């Protein structure tokens, strides 16, 4: 022992607690109370008090793990310091860790590194959940768990980047059971298991977990069950997300907490912690997986196997030398994927869990592995070498640790090279707008209060790229395929992309039946816009002056259909878009409508049907008032801007409401004006008047007060007086060469524009009219 560096980190105390609602001494503890109680037990385990603690890291409470989750009874504004007040501690540093079941193990490794370099001597990791009490105490007389202890706090945020994506949100793929179910079906597809065999294997994997949980007093569900009990769907064991019935998924309604106390060898000696309580981390690793859709094999977990492999290697042991282990077990795939990679049998005699796992022991979400580490420490004290594998996200993050009471130097380990190796594996291409024949790679049908929610992972036949999709609401054929006797995996489907997401059907005809292609043509009346055809000119007026012409989805759809018609009609040569009234061109997105509806989306043409469209004909923005946010983005998408010299004001104020100009503003504005000024406008959200916009080159022409439409019509008349073919091909060449930096290369760029001119009737007409000294008669041919 004397050879150990005084700064060597060791675990000296662990504590676990439960507050079941059916217990005679049920305390109605808050999550902070539960975490603090487990911390008291950890301190008592080490035989010390809280006064020496210099760092407390709190595991993020499950109910505050997303930006839109709000604990119904309130919560502490500084959880680690609330814990500290309860245990007589006054730490210099307080941390709230990011989301993920990997966080307890990752914190052990991180805080150990802090001790090794002298930035900490005594650190506590603690977390608690009271979700069972939240449901039990709902209604009259519910408690208030809000508190504000003040003090320093290092809030690390949610850490959800790469775990939650816009594509997943648009397809309703937000809940953990559905995402893990997709991975589970992908694994059974790779292994060639039918649904019956898959269900049986999951039950056989988790049945031993229930036996372990039945022997632990703190378990939320201490009942041993058979494999059939777990895998057979009944009224009690309902299907949550195919292939998972309730008995195979993590249990969230628990009141449990756990804590781990670390300190340096020097501190342990100073505080007289008995050496038989000391436990060492012999190896550890922390790795991150690719985002869900990028993974080459949805049913595998390279990050998990690599993290465990690195931890074992640093500890100098093989998996066969591990005496006991706990593999994070929120869903069967989280365990079986590791078993696949490490060659572990589901019935390994050592067992795959120390606690009984998340579905049976409990310890939900972020804090479960604190319980696993506490159990590992107790096993290590009895002479065992123990492996803990902690999983976070959707098999997105994995932390592993090897624990033993055998004295060892701290395993300073960098996961950089292992992480780089994971990242060099080629990702699967993702189709942003999939259209065409595809095959089903994975799927799930999740049951909820609003009916079944279906998510499909597909691969396009033509290119192999992957996509997420849902069926159309009224498509019973797809639901029958996914829930019937036939095998859905590998089935052929037809996919179509829409602004709101991708949709699959069994045939192309069925897709057209359920979502007919919109008919082109101008209607007599519209609800949210006004349309006027004046010869070759189309005038589109956003007609929502009561909300400063802000746009919601119905207005977007009307504009998108009108500009589809404009592009397709050879007799329409120029379009003018403006806003009703004299106050606003368009104030952007209608946030009130967005707040009261579902997730916002735009049609394929983009905001206002324009910002994502490759325009082939001139569009003039007649800016008659304020042009903010998406309205400014419409103006940037237009070829020409006529602005009222007094009323027009331009701004991208999205940053002021927690958004950014994602409909093209942050892309187009820095390409149109000096970058430093563009950055000023984008990053502050400030507005500028028409004069400044004109000086910057954003405005084609200034119009006198109230004369915007007159000036826009005059400009349109100048354009329709020239060859529409020449105008169209000029725009085409501008677009074709926009990305070519070298001027000569751009001039020499091969294009078929001149080829088109050679066979154009308008070209010949222009030359003849000039020779004959007469006005040309353009035909757009």
Q: What's residue 732's pLDDT?
A: 84
The yes-or-no verdict on residue 597 having pLDDT over 70 is: no
pLDDT confidence of residue 598 = 62
pLDDT at 601 over 60: yes
Give residue-wise pLDDT tens across range 513-536: 999 988 899 999 999 999 999 999
* Strands in 185-274 per DSSP E: 239-241, 244-245, 255-264
Catalytic residue among 63, 375, 558, 654: 654
User: Tens digit of pLDDT for each residue in 759-773?
Assistant: 778 788 778 888 888
Beta carbons of 59 and 367 less than 8 angstroms apart? yes
Tokens 């996200």 correspond to 393
Answer yes or no: is pLDDT of 309 > 90.
yes
Nearest to 613 by CA among 731, 721, 692, 515: 731
CB 715 within 8 A of CB 620: yes
Contacts for 237 with CB less than 8 Å, ≥ 6 apart: 229, 230, 245, 246, 247
Among 65-74, 314-323, 710-719, the minimum mean pLDDT is found in 65-74
147 SS3 class: strand
d(C-alpha 218, C-alpha 128), whole Å: 13
Tokens 């550890």 map to which residue? Answer: 284
Share of residues in the chain with pLDDT > 70 (%)? 98
338-351 per-position pLDDT tens digit: 999 999 999 999 99
Catalytic site residue from 129, 602, 633, 645: 633
Strand, coil or helix: what is 92?
A: coil
Residue pLDDT, tens place only, 150-209 = 999 999 998 888 788 889 988 999 899 999 999 999 999 999 999 999 999 999 999 999
Give counts: helices (H), strands (E), the chain.
26, 27
Place of tokens 């790679």: 441
The single-letter DSSP state of residue 365 is G
How far apart (Å, rounded) are the C-alpha atoms in residues 9 and 267? 9
> For 41-55, 240-254, 730-744, which range has the lowest pLDDT when averaged over its residues?
730-744
599 pLDDT exceeds 80? no
What's the confidence (pLDDT) of residue 724? 83
Instruction: Provide the CB-side half-sphere exposure for 151 (13 A, CA).
Output: 21
Take residue 562 and report the two structure tokens written for it: 């009108």
Strands (E), 134-238: 154-155
Q: What is each CA distance from 571 to 558, 575, 757, in whole angstroms?
A: 20, 12, 19
Q: How many CB atoms lie within 10 A of CB 735?
A: 12
Task: Bin 476: left if φ > 0, else alpha if -120 < ψ < 50, else beta.
Answer: alpha
Kindly tell me if the per-residue pLDDT of 112 is higher than 80. Answer: yes
Question: What's the start-to-end Cα distance of the chain, in Å?
Answer: 92
Q: Is 633 one of the catalytic residues?
A: yes
The span from the CA of 485 to the CA of 490, in Å, is 14
Nearest to 112 by CA among 122, 126, 102: 122
654 catalytically annotated: yes
How would you classify residue 535: left for phi > 0, otherwise alpha for psi between -120 and 50, otherwise beta?
left
Is 50 exceeded by the pLDDT of residue 381?
Answer: yes
Residues pairing with 439 in the sheet: 459, 492
Burial of residue 469, with CB atoms counted within 10 A of its CB: 0-12 exposed, 13-18 middle, 19 or more buried: buried
pLDDT in tens, 424-440: 999 999 998 999 999 99
What CATH topology corresponds to 9-138+147-166+249-424? Peroxisomal Thiolase; Chain A, domain 1 (3.40.47)
Q: Which residues of 173-191 are buried (b: 16+ CB within 10 A; e: fewer)?
A: beebbbbbbbbbbbbbbee
CATH placement of domain 529-720 = 3.90.226.10
* Distance, CA of 394 to CA of 346 (rounded, Å): 21
**φ, ψ for residue 766 (rounded to 5)?**
-65, -40
What is the reported pLDDT for 1?
A: 47
Residues in the chain: 781
346-372 pLDDT per residue, tens:
999 999 999 999 999 997 779 999 999
Q: CA–CA distance from 691 to each of 88, 258, 317, 704 (Å)?
A: 64, 63, 72, 12
Residue 607 has which token pair? 């905001």
Q: What is the CATH number of domain 436-514?
A: 2.40.50.840
- Check pLDDT > 50 for residue 593: yes
What is the pLDDT, as a whole number, of residue 753? Answer: 73
Q: How many CA atoms lie within 13 A of 37 on its CB side?
A: 18
pLDDT class of 271 with cuts at 50, 70, 90:
very high
Average pLDDT, the chain: 93
């Amino acid at each position: 022992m004397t050879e150990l560096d005084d700064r060597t980190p060791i675990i000296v105390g662990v504590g676990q607690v439960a507050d079941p609602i059916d217990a005679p001494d049920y305390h109605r503890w808050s999550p902070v109370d539960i975490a603090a109680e487990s911390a008291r037990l950890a301190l008592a385990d080490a035989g010390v008090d809280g006064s020496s603690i210099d760092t407390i890291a709190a595991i993020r409470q499950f109910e505050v793990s997303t930006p839109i989750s709000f604990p119904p009874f309130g919560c502490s504004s500084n959880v680690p310091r609330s814990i500290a007040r309860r245990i007589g501690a006054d730490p210099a540093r307080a941390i709230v860790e990011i989301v993920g079941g990997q966080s307890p193990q990752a914190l052990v490794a991180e805080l150990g590194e802090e001790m090794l370099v002298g930035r900490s001597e005594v650190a506590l990791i603690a977390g608690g959940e009271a979700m069972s009490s939240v449901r039990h105490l709902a209604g009259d007389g519910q408690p208030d768990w809000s508190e504000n202890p003040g003090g320093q706090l290092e809030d690390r945020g949610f850490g959800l980047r790469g775990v939650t994506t816009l594509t997943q949100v648009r397809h309703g793929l937000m809940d953990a059971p559905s995402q893990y179910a997709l991975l589970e079906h992908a694994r059974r597809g790779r292994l060639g298991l039918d649904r019956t065999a898959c269900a049986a294997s999951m039950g056989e994997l988790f049945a031993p977990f229930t036996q372990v949980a039945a022997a632990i007093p703190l378990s939320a569900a201490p009942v041993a069950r058979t494999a059939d009990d777990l895998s057979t769907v009944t009224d009690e064991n309902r299907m949550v997300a195919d292939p998972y019935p309730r008995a195979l998924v993590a249990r969230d309604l628990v009141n449990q907490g756990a804590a781990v106390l670390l300190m340096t060898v020097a501190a342990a000696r100073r505080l007289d912690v008995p050496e038989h309580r000391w436990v060492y981390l012999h190896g550890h690793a922390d790795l991150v997986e690719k985002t869900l859709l990028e993974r080459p094999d949805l049913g595998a977990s390279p990050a998990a196997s690599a993290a465990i492999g690195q931890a074992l290697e640093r500890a100098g042991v093989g998996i066969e030398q591990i005496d006991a282990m706990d593999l994070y077990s929120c869903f069967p795939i989280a365990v079986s994927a590791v078993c696949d990679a490490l060659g572990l049998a589901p019935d390994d005699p050592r067992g795959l869990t120390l606690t009984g796992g998340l579905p049976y022991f409990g310890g939900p979400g972020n804090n479960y592995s604190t319980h696993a580490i506490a159990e590992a420490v107790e096993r290590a004290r009895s002479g065992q070498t123990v492996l803990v594998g902690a999983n976070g996200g959707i098999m997105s993050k994995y932390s592993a640790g090897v624990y033993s009471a055998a004295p060892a130097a701290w395993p300073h380990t960098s996961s950089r090279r292992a992480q780089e190796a994971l990242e060099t594996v080629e990702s699967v291409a993702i189709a942003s707008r999939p259209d065409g024949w595809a095959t089903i790679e994975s799927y799930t049908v999740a049951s909820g209060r609003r009916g079944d929610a279906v998510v499909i992972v597909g691969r396009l036949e033509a290119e192999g790229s992957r996509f997420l999709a849902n069926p159309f609401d009224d498509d019973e054929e797809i639901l029958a395929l996914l829930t019937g006797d036939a095998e859905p995996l590998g089935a052929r489907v037809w996919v179509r992309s829409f602004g709101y997401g991708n949709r699959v059907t069994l045939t192309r005809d069925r897709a057209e039946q359920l979502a007919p292609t919109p008919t082109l043509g101008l209607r007599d009346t519209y609800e949210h816009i006004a349309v006027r055809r004046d010869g070759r000119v189309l005038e589109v007026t956003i007609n929502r002056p009561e909300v400063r012409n802000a746009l919601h989805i119905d207005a977007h759809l009307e504009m998108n259909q009108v500009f589809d018609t404009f592009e397709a009609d050879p007799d329409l040569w120029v379009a003018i878009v403006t806003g009703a009234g004299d106050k606003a061109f368009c104030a952007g997105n209608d946030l009130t409508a967005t707040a009261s509806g579902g997730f916002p989306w735009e049609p394929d043409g983009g905001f206002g049907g324009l910002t994502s469209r490759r325009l082939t004909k001139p569009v003039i923005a007649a800016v008659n008032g304020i042009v903010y946010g998406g309205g400014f983005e419409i103006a940037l998408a237009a070829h020409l801007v006529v602005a009222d010299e007094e009323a027009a004001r331009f701004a991208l104020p999205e940053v002021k409401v927690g958004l950014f100009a994602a409909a093209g503003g942050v892309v187009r504005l820095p390409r149109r004006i000096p970058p430093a000024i563009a950055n000023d406008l984008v990053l502050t959200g400030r507005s500028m008047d028409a004069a400044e916009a004109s000086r910057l080159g954003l405005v084609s022409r200034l119009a006198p007060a109230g004369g915007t439409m007159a000036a826009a019509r005059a400009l349109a008349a100048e354009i329709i007086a020239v060859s529409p073919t020449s105008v169209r091909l000029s725009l085409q060449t501008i677009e074709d060469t926009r990305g070519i930096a070298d001027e000569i290369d751009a001039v020499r760029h091969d294009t078929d524009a001149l080829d088109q001119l050679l066979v154009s009737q308008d070209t010949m007409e222009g030359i003849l009219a000039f020779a004959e000294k007469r006005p040309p008669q353009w035909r757009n041919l």
